């Protein structure tokens, strides 16, 4: 359905994104300053519980793993972007023109508790350059950045949680859609990034070494992070010359990446709590998938494929979307929490 056009109501521009607050929490035994409102286990915590179960109950490791999985007592890392201190108390993403695709934040590389980017704020808030991912960096290259105990398998992620506080512009659209997710043109997508094995630092990189032309001391540099999704496209320009690569953002929501839409013309910020699990098994063509869609999610986000495919070093991103004149995605806060097995 084509959205009904209506005039755009201009608000104060959001030029002060550098005033946004970004916070990261890694479950690590070395994290002594974190005081969470709810306890997030570290890898050592999880292994301690496994050993206690095995010792007290004379249980084999396989059964201890099943108990820990059932209790969801996994290590967790989280990252938050908070825009409530901007002039409008929200970050506005407008559907008109070329402003409807906004990178919001990324997680730390999965399982790499000992890896740190050169600049934390830039790492959280700046989208990766649109390069096509070539040869992925092998997991053996990550081992020095993994805190003991290591992830349990090549695909260790068990759960991803998205907590989003947002709304649309609070008016417009078709009256029959008001208060529902039908024909909502403001939403959020989950992206994926990985380290490219052949990426080279340049002089603009904080870790650049002029002698070696790469990160100092063999450090895995943040400039080697390239997108898996959104896709990257390149095209020919005038006289057959290649244009620079660019992100190829879909006009409409994609069923396997859409985290959550905003309710149509609903006044006030809404809270959405979305959980993707490794053992989700909702067929995208089923009635259960249609129920996900009615609740503002992508029909293909309930099959667990995104979570099960994640590997050591993988990075989740969140993109805010808005489409068509007059629509605005007003984002107050976004949090990603990643849980993995050890």
Cβ count near 154 (within 10 Å): 9
Tokens describing residue 49: 């519980």
The three-state secondary structure class of 338 is strand
> pTM of the entire structure?
0.87
Among 118-122, 128-132, 206-210, 237-241, name the most confident range. Answer: 128-132
Q: Residue 9: its pLDDT value, please?
A: 38
Buried/exposed 105-142: b ≥16 CB within 10 Å, e otherwise: bbbbbbbbbebebbeeeebbbebbebeebeebbeeeeb
What would the mean pLDDT of 250-261 be, rounded to a whole number? 97
Which of 24-33, 49-58, 162-171, 252-261 bottoms out in mean pLDDT, i.e. has the lowest? Answer: 24-33
Q: Mind spelling out the 3-state secondary structure of 169-233?
A: CCCCCCHHHCCCCCCCCEEEEEEEEEEECCCCCCCCCCCEECCCCEEHHHCCCHHHEEEEECCEE
* Residues 286, 277 contacting (CB under 8 angstroms): no
What would the mean pLDDT of 241-253 be, rounded to a whole number? 89
C-alpha angle with apex 148: 162 to 342, nearest 5 degrees?
A: 50
Q: Distance (Å, rounded) from C-alpha 252 to C-alpha 204? A: 35
What would the mean pLDDT of 209-213 be, rounded to a whole number? 46
On the 0-12 / 13-18 / 19+ scale of CB atoms within 10 A, 329 is: buried
Tokens describing residue 89: 């108390």
For the chain, how long is the longest CA-to-CA vector? 74
Q: What is the pLDDT of residues 287-305, one digit of tens each?
A: 999 999 999 999 999 999 9
What would the mean pLDDT of 2-14 be, rounded to a whole number? 41
More confident residue, 136 or 150: 136
* Residues 113, 76 contacting (CB under 8 angstroms): no
Q: In which element (H, E) is residue 334 found? A: strand 328-340
pLDDT band at 31 (very low <50, low <70, confident <90, very high): very low
Indicate if the pLDDT at residue 30 is higher than 50. Answer: no
More confident residue, 213 or 95: 95
On the 0-12 / 13-18 / 19+ scale of CB atoms within 10 A, 7 is: exposed
More confident residue, 222 or 185: 185
For residue 175, the number of C-alpha atoms closer than 13 Å in the C-beta half-sphere is: 0
More confident residue, 146 or 322: 322
Among 153, 186, 189, CA closest to 172: 186
**Calculated CA dihedral for residues 24, 27, 32, 37, nearest 10 degrees:** 70
More confident residue, 236 or 179: 179
């Amino acid at each position: 359905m084509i959205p009904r056009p209506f005039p755009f109501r201009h608000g104060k521009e959001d030029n002060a994104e550098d005033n946004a607050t970004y916070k990261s929490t890694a479950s690590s035994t070395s994290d002594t300053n974190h005081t969470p409102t709810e306890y997030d286990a570290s890898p050592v915590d999880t292994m301690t519980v496994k050993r206690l179960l095995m010792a007290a109950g004379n249980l084999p490791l396989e059964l201890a793993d099943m108990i820990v999985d059932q209790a969801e007592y996994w290590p967790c890392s989280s990252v938050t972007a908070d825009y409530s201190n901007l002039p409008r108390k929200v970050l506005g993403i407008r559907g008109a023109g070329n402003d409807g695709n906004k990178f919001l934040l990324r997680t730390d590389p999965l399982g790499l508790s000992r890896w740190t980017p050169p600049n934390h704020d830039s790492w959280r808030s700046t989208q990766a350059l649109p390069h096509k991912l070539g040869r992925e960096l092998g997991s053996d290259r990550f081992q020095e950045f993994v805190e003991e105990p290591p992830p349990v398998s090549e695909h260790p992620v068990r759960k991803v949680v998205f907590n989003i506080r947002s709304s649309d512009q609070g008016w417009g659209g078709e009256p029959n859609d008001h208060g529902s997710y039908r024909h909502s043109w403001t939403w959020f997508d989950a992206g994926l990034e990985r380290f490219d094995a052949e990426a080279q630092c340049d002089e603009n990189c904080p870790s650049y070494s002029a002698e070696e032309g790469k990160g100092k001391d063999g450090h895995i540099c943040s400039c080697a992070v390239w997108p898996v999704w959104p896709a990257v496209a390149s095209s020919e320009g005038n006289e057959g010359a290649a244009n620079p690569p660019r992100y190829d953002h879909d006009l409409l929501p994609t069923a396997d990446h859409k985290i959550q839409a905003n309710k149509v013309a609903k006044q006030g910020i809404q809270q959405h709590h979305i959980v993707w699990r490794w053992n989700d098994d909702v067929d995208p063509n089923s009635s259960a998938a249609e129920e996900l869609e009615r609740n503002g999610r992508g029909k293909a986000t309930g099959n667990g494929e995104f979570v099960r495919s994640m590997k050591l070093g993988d990075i989740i991103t969140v993109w805010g979307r808005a489409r068509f004149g007059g629509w605005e995605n007003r984002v107050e806060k976004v949090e990603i929490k990643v849980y993995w097995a050890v």
